[in-house]
Structures are given as structure tokens and as C-alpha cells.
């Protein structure tokens, strides 16, 4: 539903506003070490994870901004630079299938499934469990393909600096709303007699983001409404 699309973009906006996405990505990449092969694999996993939560439209820019400090010291014509950037593009594309909120096409697919008998029971977790094995296989194939077609020519990758932020109640609140949203959408079918369809389940955490002022009217106006309109047109 449209509420699910708007919530997905709003959650991405909240994660970005409080830099939670960058903190998560930089922490994982910093732990990957300096081995090029490990760094490449970590970059792909982080990119796919961000894409599943933030949307596959904005995630490539975010992932690239995190890895650039490690790529800048490399020689200008370094093959590994191109390999990492290509890995980000592929991984974010694969990550776009992981959750219903990762891509507007997924919401359209949910709407189509809702019209097919027993498929009304497709929940957030069920979608994730079905998509995860496929995404894992695709990422593994992409990783092997990148290493075979573009062999690593460097010995080590400069360490990625961690993004340091003072942890506040707002950070915890945004994570809590995200967890609540997953719980609501995972049990949307069971809760349907009580709260209505999945759109209502998405509207509850949406209200929790805007009502207390965690996200402002400027944040709301800054959402990609052209994509929301595109999904609305598809439903029509």
C-alpha cells in the first residue's frame, strides 16, 4: 500500500538524519580489516543490508560515501577501485529484493499477491525468508565473478574510519520504531481483524516518527513523492 511506501522512505530519512546508517556501515567495514578480498565481501554485505533498509535508490550513494576514504589513497588507475564501486552497484540491486520496503516494485508485488487467495498471508518476515537465500546466492556469485574477472592487484586496503556519534535517545527511539514496524508487518495478517490491512500497520510507526517531532514537516516534504505517485499510479 501507499502507507508502506511512505513509511519505507520515512524510516530511511530517519536513519539518515541521525546517521545510523553510516554508523552501522562504517563499523562493519572497519571490522573487515585491510585484506582486499575481505573488504570487498564486507562492502557487498553492507551495501545489500543498507539497501534492504534504506531503499535501493539511496543506498549506493551512502555505501560509496563510506568506502571512499579507503579508496582515495589507492592509485588513480587501480582496478580494485572499479571493482568495489561495481560491487556496490550490484549488491544494492540485490539488496533491493530483500524486504518489502527496499523497493517500490516490492510493494507493487505485495499488492498483486494480496489479490491471489492464500497469498494474503505474505508477511515482512516471510518475504525476507524467501528472498534471503536467493540474495545470498546472487551475492556469492557476484563476489566470485568480480574476483575472477577483476583480480585483486593490491596487498592491503586503507582502514575505513569509524563514524563517531554521541548516542542519544533519538537514536534508540528510531531503532525501536523500526523494530516495532518489523513486528507489526510480520504479524499484519494475524492483526488484520483488529487493525485492518498492512497499510494501517505501516501507518502506526509512521505516526510515531512524525508525531513526536523525530521527523519534521521538511523531512516529510523531502520524501521522493514522484516514486510514491508512480506506485499509486500502478495501483490505479
CB atoms within 10 A of CB 222: 12
* Cβ proximity of 198 and 121 under 8 Å: no
- pLDDT confidence of residue 173: 92
Per-residue confidence of the chain (236 residues) as pLDDT tens digits?
A: 677 778 878 888 888 888 887 787 778 777 877 888 988 999 999 899 888 877 777 788 778 888 887 888 888 788 888 999 999 999 999 998 988 878 878 877 777 776 775 545 677 778 888 899 999 999 999 999 999 998 888 878 877 777 777 888 988 999 898 888 877 776 766 666 776 666 777 788 888 999 888 899 898 888 878 777 776 665 55
pTM for the full predicted model: 0.74
pLDDT at 233: 66
Residue identified by cell 513509511 is 7
* Cell of residue 162, nine digits: 569509524
- CB-side neighbour CA atoms (13 Å) of 169: 3
Predicted confidence at residue 50, as pLDDT, reads 84
Amino acid at each position: 500500500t501507499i502507507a508502506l511506501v511512505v513509511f519505507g522512505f520515512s524510516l530511511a530519512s530517519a536513519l539518515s538524519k541521525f546517521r545510523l546508517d553510516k554508523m552501522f556501515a562504517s563499523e562493519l567495514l572497519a571490522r573487515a580489516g585491510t585484506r582486499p578480498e575481505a573488504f570487498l565481501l564486507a562492502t557487498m554485505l553492507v551495501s545489500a543490508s543498507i539497501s534492504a533498509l534504506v531503499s535501493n535508490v539511496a543506498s549506493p550513494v551512502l555505501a560509496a560515501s563510506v568506502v571512499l576514504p579507503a579508496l582515495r589513497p589507492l592509485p588513480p588507475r587501480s582496478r580494485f577501485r572499479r571493482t568495489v564501486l561495481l560491487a556496490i552497484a550490484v549488491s544494492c540491486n540485490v539488496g533491493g529484493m530483500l524486504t518489502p520496503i527496499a523497493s517500490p516494485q516490492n510493494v507493487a508485488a505485495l499488492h498483486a499477491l494480496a489479490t491471489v487467495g492464500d497469498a494474503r498471508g505474505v508477511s515482512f518476515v516471510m518475504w525476507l525468508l524467501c528472498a534471503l537465500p536467493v540474495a545470498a546466492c546472487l551475492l556469492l556469485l557476484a563476489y566470485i565473478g568480480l574476483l575472477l574477472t577483476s583480480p585483486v592487484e593490491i596487498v592491503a586496503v586503507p582502514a575505513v574510519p569509524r563514524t563517531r556519534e554521541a548516542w542519544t535517545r533519538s537514536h534508540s527511539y528510531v531503532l525501536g520504531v523500526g523494530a516495532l514496524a518489523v513486528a507489526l508487518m510480520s504479524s499484519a495478517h494475524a492483526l488484520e481483524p483488529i487493525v485492518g490491512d498492512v497499510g494501517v500497520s505501516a501507518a502506526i510507526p509512521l505516526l510515531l516518527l512524525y508525531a513526536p517531532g523525530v521527523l519534521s514537516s521538511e523531512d516529510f516534504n523531502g520524501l521522493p513523492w514522484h516514486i510514491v505517485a508512480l506506485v499509486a499510479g500502478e495501483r490505479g
